[in-house]
Structure 1
Amino acid sequence: MLHTKRFLLTLVALVLCLAFVSAAGQKDSQSEGKATITLATADNTYGLSTDPELQGAITDLIESKTDTIIEPIIPPLASYTDKLATLVNSGDIPDLFVVAQAMTKIPTMVAREQILDLTDYIKNSPALSQLDPSLFKDLQIDGKTYFVPYNYPKSKAIFIRKDLMEQYGVELSSTPTAEEFRREMGKFVGSGIIPFNFPKWVDNFQFFYNSFGAWGGVYEKDGQFIDGFQTEEMKNALAYLRQLYKDGVLNQEFITTENSGMREKTYTAQAASSIDYVTNYINYVQNTTAANKYTEMHLVYKIVGPEGYGGSLNEATQTAFVVSSKTKNPEAVVRVLETIVTDPEVYPAFFGIGLEGKHFTLNADGQIEATPKAANSGYKYTLNYLSDSFVDIDIENLPFKLSPALEQGLPKQIEHIKAMQANLGPNHAADVPVGVSVAYDRVAPSIKSTRESIATKIIVGTVSLEEGLAEYENFWNSINGPTILEELNAAR
């Protein structure tokens, strides 16, 4: 009897082993001949969930659509830029990855030969070739295209809670003067709420630079390249921002404020306002509702300075996909890229709502409701794709119902997006051609970081305006800034 049991146990183990080998063989057979692609993106995409199983469901969907094997790299949003920089600088560049601050970073990557020229791939793609050509014009380099955006160009406005405006008697149009903004927002000071919550990303101050005709960086003005940080216009802009900080209007802890924290405080009425993408209007509708603090938002498109200048923060192509110049499978990578950007099933899953049955189910009212697994992983779906994606979405026949607040909010978001077109500020990020001045290409990142560091010190009062500008001038001379401008202008 004992021998029989041992025999049966051995037989079962052998059968299981053979089954495992067979399954592994089938998987290898299915994978044989497929391109393996590394895809890097932050966790505010990829189904908006940090759960590995749910992220895996998104991977499975992309693989099924593209006949590829995807190896995802999905760091938290807060650490994504640093993680990507580490990969790129080490030479271990992902095949396909998302770049933030694209207008400044892509030219540098092109100069360093890190990303692939996509001009012909876009032209030969049935899906990508149908995109509006104007989407690519702001960031072409020598007539070539190195990126694919996944939504319409971004612009930012100041979102102010209407309930708090009414409570404190704040009266502002969508295009107030600089003095009106300072005076009216000052009514929130001392109320126990943050009047104007601002994130640590100092490049957002360009919204206010625009009001004074200033530009933070090297750019072309009147046919000549100049350093915009060393102008009278910039001096006036920084003085105004310093005053907002002294008045208590500008968040006193902005240098440590993450975007997520900024938004959360505005959602929950701990802050009266924040600066954000116009395309995020329905996020405010969703999240103020979820916090039981629903209110409509008043948007300030631009602040008009004393000389009549002003414009929204025009980020143009701020976030985009690029392809590594080292990829061994460019055709397959572009196939994945076009699927993520244009497929009507993949785009909503990747950027907005995830997958039904995995990330969400529909409640009795037909509305999206997070599954327990998704809810536990921080999943908060977004419907931005309904208004700012390239995918043709039939809003009248969605597979789910919108809440009453979203039914009201979505048309307002579209209204604001259209209104912003007449109020866009300038974007000179791509003014300087790559390769004209090797010295500039090398030091451009340090110019940006130094400029932003000194602007911050001036605004919070660590140094005076004069001391900060003198510090910047010393830095500028240390990198031979005047010679750089000579080189750029000589090549015109």
Structure 2
Amino acid sequence: MIAGKLYGYALSMVLFIGLLAGCSGGNGNEPAVDSSEEGTPNAAEPAAAAEALKLQFMVPSFAEVPDMNDQYWTEWQKRTNTSLDVEWIPSGDYDTKFDLVLASGNLPEIIVAQNVTRPTLQMAIKQGAFWDLTPFLGDFSKYPNLKNNSEQNVWTYMKSDGKIYGIPRNRPVIDPGIKIRKDWLDKLNLPIPKTLDEYAAALKKIVDGDPDGNGKKDTIGIIGHGYLLADGDGSYEAAFGALDPFYNQEGGLVRDLLTPNYTDMVEWFRKLYADGILAKEFTTIKKTQAEEMFATGRAASYTRNIWRDYTWEQENKKTQPDAEIITLPPMQGPKGVSVQLVPPFFGANYISKKVPEEKVKQILDYFEETTTMEYTDFNYFGIEGVHHTLVDGQPQLTELGIKEVTTNANQVFALAFNNKMKVFNASAPKAYNDAKLKDAEVYGEVGKTNVFNIIASVKWTEVWPKYEKEWQSMATKAIVGQISMDEYKAYVDKLNAMPEFKQAYQEYAAMYKEYFGE
């Protein structure tokens, strides 16, 4: 069973916390090393004051563009003996910018791809835009950190035509969750929903009521950002069984978007749209807009990283002191539960073929040095006494830490694989984080992963861009009631019957078998 294969190897929360405790000599919420000057990597001045390695990156920005001369980034560059030239692109615009840069051929030294199966990336790889890292990495004897501190199967997922081109950006598999305003549930005497039907019913009562007390019935039930709900799609797909492998009559592995289970999800959202639960402009909302809407109490439910609960709860408390945001426990859907596990990586770093071979080795040395829990903890908490203090044995970000140590801090290295990063909030009290980590354990036990974020098909890469916008338009029309579900189903059947789609599904099936077995 694919879910078991994908999350079975992931560290459980308990084991992970125990690992951190073993590394740090303290409890599991302490950094692996003291973030003070003593005992940290490269804390001492280099003996010969070697010239800093200049590195040029293009990365997505998930917060305000940082000041590379602030205390955090000054210390990072000092410890790594680097000089970073980083082009920060707003995350909502990143894929568009990424495609434009690939098309221009004017690549930075290192570029982040948020999705390793992105068609434009796969085409660029085949056209020789990036270095084949396979001969450099070899058996990883020169890169033990990249091997041992990455998830055990992630380097297999980096391969294209059997060769490694990307350096994985390690991420926890426990990450997104469906959020809801629990204080609004309480206000309306509604229990925490245990099924999708209960969830939809609760949201209907919220949008028909006045939970924020402003005298208007203007609360949005569900928001997302981009098509369909972007980060939220997978959680609902899992509940409808759309993340389970589905094969056609020829034995081809059908893309999740074009399965009957996904179509069932489209039909469910059609009802929610008709009931006024799904945001009317659901396909055009940008990520920054969605974040602002949820953080200011304009929406009841949004699916993003679990760690954001505390941050957005504090924002809502500024205008609604009783605000309480929770990530919902797994809800039962028609063919699964509402939990998506993400791949153990969030895209990868690619090195332009224009970079000289000798510098490729230097870049790999940089990633090798920084792919440790020591650097990952520094990335998370910054400098002790400056960016964080220890409270009950847990690093607590200071006001400066909250400003400087943002999610952008992890965009320029690979991180060490762990399963706490997207649950733990460095600004939250220890008791809050302990409870969150405990609650999230069940996600790793029942969630499903979308394998199409891992496996690729040359034919799909070639064909899908021709139909993607048309398909999105048809699905949107079905949801908003402009076409019937029968018309939408007929359209999906037409795509699935096309020879090029059938070929893509055969390629997917072969790669699935290679990675995961039968």
The interval holding the TM-score normalised by the smaller chain is 0.7 to 0.9
- Residue matched to 1:20: none
The one-letter amino acid of 2:96's match is D
* Deviation by residue 1:314-348 (Cα, 9 ceiling, x = unmatched): 32145233122513221222233345543635x46
- Residue matched to 1:300: 328
Distance (whole Å) between structure 1 residues aligned to residue 510 and residue 443 of structure 2: 37
- Residue matched to 2:486: 466
Distance (whole Å) between structure 1 residues aligned to residue 108 and residue 491 of structure 2: 38
Distance (whole Å) between structure 2 residues aligned to residue 53 and residue 183 of structure 1: 48
Instruction: Write out aligned runs for 1:481-492 (5 A).
Output: 481-485=501-505
Between 474-483 and 266-275, report the one with greater CA deviation: 474-483
The alpha-carbon deviation at position 207 of structure 1 amounts to: 2.3
* Deviation by residue 1:364-411 (Cα, 9 ceiling, x = unmatched): x9964545xx99xx86846999xx96389999xxxxx977x5333211
Partner SS for 1:275: strand
Does residue 427 (structure 1) correspond to residue 450 (structure 2)? The answer is: yes
The one-letter amino acid of 1:156's match is P
Distance (whole Å) between structure 1 residues aligned to residue 175 and residue 207 of structure 2: 27
Distance (whole Å) between structure 1 residues aligned to residue 263 and residue 94 of structure 2: 33
The alpha-carbon deviation at position 275 of structure 1 amounts to: 0.8
The alpha-carbon deviation at position 85 of structure 1 amounts to: 2.0
- In angstroms, what is the RMSD of aligned CA positions? 4.4
Change (3 A) 1:454 1:342: farther
- Residue matched to 2:361: 331
The one-letter amino acid of 1:424's match is G
The alpha-carbon deviation at position 466 of structure 1 amounts to: 2.7
Distance (whole Å) between structure 2 residues aligned to residue 284 and residue 138 of structure 1: 36
Pick from 175, 178, 187: which aligns with 1:167?
187
Partner SS for 1:214: coil
Change (3 A) 1:123 1:389: same
TM-score between both structures, scaled by the size of structure 2: 0.69
The answer to whether the 8 A contact 1:40-1:94 is kept is: yes
The answer to whether the 8 A contact 1:155-1:424 is kept is: no
TM-score between both structures, scaled by the size of structure 1: 0.73
Instruction: Write out aligned runs for 1:369-388 (5 A).
Output: 369-370=398-399, 381=406
Change (3 A) 1:383 1:100: closer
The alpha-carbon deviation at position 190 of structure 1 amounts to: 2.0
Partner SS for 1:93: coil
Larger Rg: 1
Pick from 414, 431, 455: which aligns with 1:408?
431
The one-letter amino acid of 1:88's match is L
- Residue matched to 2:17: none
The answer to whether the 8 A contact 1:150-1:389 is kept is: yes
The one-letter amino acid of 2:462's match is R
The one-letter amino acid of 1:426's match is T
The answer to whether the 8 A contact 1:66-1:335 is kept is: no
Pick from 274, 281, 286: which aligns with 2:302?
274
* Deviation by residue 1:107-126 (Cα, 9 ceiling, x = unmatched): 56544544444455355224
The alpha-carbon deviation at position 412 of structure 1 amounts to: 2.5
Partner SS for 1:344: helix
* Deviation by residue 1:128-184 (Cα, 9 ceiling, x = unmatched): 2221443516724366553322432353221112211101222234xx333222222
Distance (whole Å) between structure 2 residues aligned to residue 144 and residue 412 of structure 1: 42
The alpha-carbon deviation at position 188 of structure 1 amounts to: 0.7
Pick from 269, 272, 288: which aligns with 1:244?
272
Partner SS for 1:322: strand
Distance (whole Å) between structure 2 residues aligned to residue 221 and residue 317 of structure 1: 31
Kindly indicate which of the two structures has a greater share of residues assigned to helix: 1
- Residue matched to 2:205: 187
The answer to whether the 8 A contact 1:40-1:73 is kept is: yes
- Residue matched to 1:97: 111
The one-letter amino acid of 2:208's match is G
The one-letter amino acid of 2:79's match is K
- Residue matched to 1:77: 91
Between 246-255 and 120-129, report the one with greater CA deviation: 120-129
Change (3 A) 1:240 1:94: same
The answer to whether the 8 A contact 1:58-1:354 is kept is: yes
Change (3 A) 1:269 1:485: closer
The answer to whether the 8 A contact 1:59-1:72 is kept is: no
* Deviation by residue 1:249-289 (Cα, 9 ceiling, x = unmatched): 22222222233332333333222221112243443355445
Distance (whole Å) between structure 1 residues aligned to residue 378 and residue 300 of structure 2: 32
- Residue matched to 1:315: 342
The answer to whether the 8 A contact 2:171-2:343 is kept is: no
Change (3 A) 1:301 1:442: farther
Does residue 153 (structure 1) correspond to residue 153 (structure 2)? The answer is: no
Distance (whole Å) between structure 2 residues aligned to residue 223 and residue 483 of structure 1: 11
Instruction: Write out aligned runs for 1:445-464 (5 A).
Output: 445-464=465-484
